């Protein structure tokens, strides 16, 4: 039988803490993470809520699998209505916090209302209490974490918190745990700030044991061999996510200077993962129980503190190539500041890059920026701007709204320079190179996201490669000579793989370990994980429907908020030929993209007129209760 979900229900307004039990037969439909989060929101929240009002709800959730002794298992989802996009907000983070939240007996923590004064929640098993946090307000993450550990008297606590940016309601403020793991996107940190909720601290506890130890060991016993035989994951471990940056540039598809080009000859080599490995890297960090060790720890004496970890590929791109910055130290410093203040590095770097283009094209000038010279490549200005944004100081106050809102205020052609979908800035994978990823940027319920579907490039690998064999299990075995096509099969690949990634964000699994193209654990291993881990005899058919259900719940949430297909777009720049480098002349074919979008709706069972789930699709996914509400 499927386990029940135990949910800590925290009313911040009344300072009341209760427990909700979701019976296993319902939990199985929404088995954790993001699916559980959006389920709880749809159950209780009315549409039209101001995301930064007490009426918004915010859910931390893990899954029935969280804490099992295997790689890629320690992830936590935060679900809320996003202040950045106005859509459902969804964000995942790793670390040790997720496992210990679950080890204390909780599948989710639901926050509602608003505390009169700053508080934090402390969880020790069944006990949970709200504690005053006025003395923590304004503190950067490292300091606040230290203070919390001291006052609880336990330096092994796990703390997920906001920094000053969340307190200041920066639209892309994030939630940080371990001072260097982020629930990065969608501005979930601002929602915590609006609720006067500084942090959630959990005492370490003993994680769950596998249901079938012997079976489970078949998955884990050869992990080092799996790693050794696996160049992809081995490279990820050695060079981190930034290992691919140089390759993207060489192909002409590294977003550079606010996406005006895909080519960064003056800087790519300086900010790529191998350079980081050879220069500032001092350690490889890991999440709970994970053998991959993809996390970076970097140090620049007197400038960058290893305590705050190190930059991912996305961060190297957004603060590096997006801004034309060629200094890895600057990127690392910007990363550190984001972790200290609690800012999403993607939206932060991309918003600065946007401002730089506006500056270079004369839409803003020194009068607007308080004297800062926002030219592409100006390394000095970037860390300053990060602080100004976090504190909403001067020009930073405008950029704290994100590029889309800032563009609306700047006026002129500025809107054409915001590289965002639904108000969320694009991550650093170019739709011109990966049109299926671009399609998902457009339709993803919580704005542009690169971790919500598989990338087109894997379909160019040999058909007998492990990657292709695993992709075949989720329904696509057509190969492509290059990545550029966007035919029916590619659209289906986009949708099917989106459903698969949606499973991962529901079960709170890391895509670098459990994604279908990372050769560590494939879809069939996932079935074994459920079976041996918790005795859940599932199938990829059941799980794919779980994934599809989550996506549909999110789209339904958005539909209630008034979102339609008009909000599913790509910035016009994607349809304009790239100007130089190896990708010169390449762009997304606008007509084909429109056709693919329509095909996607049809494949998803959404109304092509509105882009929203049809009643039939909701009912097929056991979501008829939404229609009855």
Binding site for a second copy (CB under 8 A): 1, 25, 28, 463-464, 469-470, 472-475, 477-478, 488-489, 492, 523-524, 527, 537-545, 599, 602-603, 605, 614, 616, 619-620, 622, 624
Indicate the residue among 322 and 470 with the shorter CB distance to a second copy. Answer: 470
Q: Give min distance, CB of 492 to a second copy, in A.
A: 6
Indicate the residue among 389 and 527 with the shorter CB distance to a second copy. Answer: 527
Cα(226)–Cα(219) distance, integer angstroms: 10
Is 255 in a helix, a strand, or coil?
A: coil
Cα(495)–Cα(515) distance, integer angstroms: 15
Other beta carbons less than 10 A from residue 134's beta carbon: 11
Indicate the residue among 250 and 542 with the shorter CB distance to a second copy. Answer: 542
Element containing residue 250 per DSSP (H, E): helix 245-251
Q: Give min distance, CB of 11 to a second copy, in A.
A: 32
CB 17 within 8 A of CB 124: no
CB 263 within 8 A of CB 256: yes
Other beta carbons less than 10 A from residue 470's beta carbon: 22
Q: Give min distance, CB of 599 to a second copy, in A.
A: 7
Indicate the residue among 247 and 624 with the shorter CB distance to a second copy. Answer: 624
Q: Give min distance, CB of 90 to a second copy, in A.
A: 23
Indicate the residue among 464 and 609 with the shorter CB distance to a second copy. Answer: 464
Indicate the residue among 449 and 548 with the shorter CB distance to a second copy. Answer: 548
Q: Give min distance, CB of 153 to a second copy, in A.
A: 45
Element containing residue 319 per DSSP (H, E): helix 313-319
Q: Give min distance, CB of 620 to a second copy, in A.
A: 5
Supply the DSSP string of 163-199, one letter for each residue: -HHHHTT-TTB-EEETTTEEE-STTHHHHHHHTTEEE
Could you say which DSSP state residue 421 is in?
E
* Sequence-ordered list of residues with C-beta below 8 angstroms from that of 585, at least 6 positions apart, any chain: 577, 578
Q: Give min distance, CB of 617 to a second copy, in A.
A: 8
Q: Give min distance, CB of 24 to a second copy, in A.
A: 10
CB 170 within 8 A of CB 91: no
Q: Give min distance, CB of 486 to a second copy, in A.
A: 14
CB 423 within 8 A of CB 402: yes
CB 405 within 8 A of CB 397: no
Q: Give min distance, CB of 604 to a second copy, in A.
A: 9
Indicate the residue among 8 and 503 with the shorter CB distance to a second copy. Answer: 503
Cα(478)–Cα(616) distance, integer angstroms: 29
Handedness of CA 485, 490, 494, 500 (dihedral sign): negative
Indicate the residue among 183 and 453 with the shorter CB distance to a second copy. Answer: 453
Cα(556)–Cα(574) distance, integer angstroms: 27
> Minimal CA–CA distance to 304: which of 329, 283, 327?
329
Is 124 in a helix, a strand, or coil?
A: strand
Indicate the residue among 451 and 476 with the shorter CB distance to a second copy. Answer: 476
Which backbone phi and psi does 450 adopt, to 5 degrees?
A: -100, 0
Q: Give min distance, CB of 416 to a second copy, in A.
A: 33
Indicate the residue among 407 and 621 with the shorter CB distance to a second copy. Answer: 621
**475 Rama class: left (phi>0) / alpha (psi -120 to 50) / beta:** left
Indicate the residue among 477 and 575 with the shorter CB distance to a second copy. Answer: 477
């Amino acid at each position: 039988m499927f386990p029940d979900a135990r949910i800590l229900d925290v009313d911040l307004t009344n300072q009341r803490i209760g427990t909700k039990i979701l019976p296993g037969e319902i939990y199985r439909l929404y088995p954790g993470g993001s699916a559980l989060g959006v389920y709880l929101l749809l159950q209780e929240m009315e549409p039209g809520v101001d995301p930064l009002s007490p009426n918004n709800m915010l859910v931390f959730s893990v899954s029935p699998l969280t804490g099992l002794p295997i790689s890629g298992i320690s992830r936590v989802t935060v679900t809320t209505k996003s202040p950045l996009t106005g859509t459902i907000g969804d964000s995942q983070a790793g670390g040790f916090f997720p496992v210990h939240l679950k080890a204390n007996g909780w599948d989710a923590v639901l926050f509602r209302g608003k505390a009169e004064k700053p508080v934090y929640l402390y969880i020790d098993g069944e006990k949970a209490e709200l504690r005053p946090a006025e003395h923590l307000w304004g503190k950067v993450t490292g300091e606040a974490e230290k203070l919390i550990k001291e006052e609880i008297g336990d330096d092994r606590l796990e703390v997920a918190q906001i920094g000053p940016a969340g307190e200041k309601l920066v639209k892309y403020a994030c939630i940080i745990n371990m001072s260097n793991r982020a629930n990065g996107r969608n501005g979930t940190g601002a929602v915590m700030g609006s609720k006067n909720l500084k942090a959630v601290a959990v005492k370490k506890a003993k994680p769950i044991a596998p249901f079938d130890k012997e079976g489970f060991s078949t998955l884990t016993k050869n992990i080092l061999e799996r790693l050794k035989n696996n160049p992809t994951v081995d490279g990820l471990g050695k060079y981190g996510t930034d290992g691919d940056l140089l390759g993207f540039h060489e192909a002409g598809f590294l977003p550079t200077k606010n996406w005006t080009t895909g080519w960064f000859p003056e800087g790519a080599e300086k900010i790529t993962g191998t350079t980081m490995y050879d220069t500032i890297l001092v350690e490889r960090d890991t999440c709970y129980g994970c053998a991959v060790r993809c996390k970076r720890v970097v140090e620049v004496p007197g400038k960058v503190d290893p305590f705050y970890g190190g930059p991912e590929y996305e961060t190297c791109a957004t603060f590096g190539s997006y801004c034309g910055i060629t200094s890895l130290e600057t990127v690392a410093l910007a990363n550190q500041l984001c972790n200290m203040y609690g800012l999403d590095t993607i939206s932060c770097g991309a918003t600065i890059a946007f401002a730089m283009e506006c500056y270079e094209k004369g839409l803003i000038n020194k009068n607007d920026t308080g004297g800062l010279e926002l030219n592409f490549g100006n390394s000095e200005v970037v860390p300053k701007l990060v602080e100004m944004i976090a504190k909403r100081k001067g020009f930073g106050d405008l950029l704290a709204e994100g590029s889309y809102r800032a563009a609306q205020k700047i006026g002129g052609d500025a809107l054409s320079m915001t590289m965002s979908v639904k108000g969320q800035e694009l991550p650093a994978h170019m739709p011109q190179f990966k049109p299926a990823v671009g399609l998902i940027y457009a339709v993803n319920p919580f704005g542009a996201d690169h971790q919500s579907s598989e990338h087109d490039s894997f379909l160019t690998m040999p058909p007998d490669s492990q990657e292709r064999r695993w992709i075949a299990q989720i329904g696509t075995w057509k190969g492509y000579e290059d990545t550029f096509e966007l035919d029916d099969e590619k659209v289906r690949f986009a949708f099917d793989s989106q459903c698969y990634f949606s499973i991962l964000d529901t079960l709170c699994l890391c895509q670098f370990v459990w994604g279908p193209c990372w050769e560590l654990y494939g879809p069939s291993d996932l079935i074994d994980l459920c079976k041996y881990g918790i005795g859940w005899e599932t199938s990829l058919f059941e799980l794919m429907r779980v994934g599809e259900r989550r996506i549909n719940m999110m789209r339904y949430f958005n539909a209630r908020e008034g979102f339609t297909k008009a909000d599913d777009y790509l910035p016009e720049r994607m349809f304009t030929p790239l100007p130089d480098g190896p990708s010169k002349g390449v762009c997304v074919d606008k007509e084909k993209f429109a056709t693919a979008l329509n095909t996607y709706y049809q494949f998803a069972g959404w109304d092509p007129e509105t882009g929203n789930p049809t009643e039939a699709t909701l009912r097929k996914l056991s979501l008829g209760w939404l229609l009855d509400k």
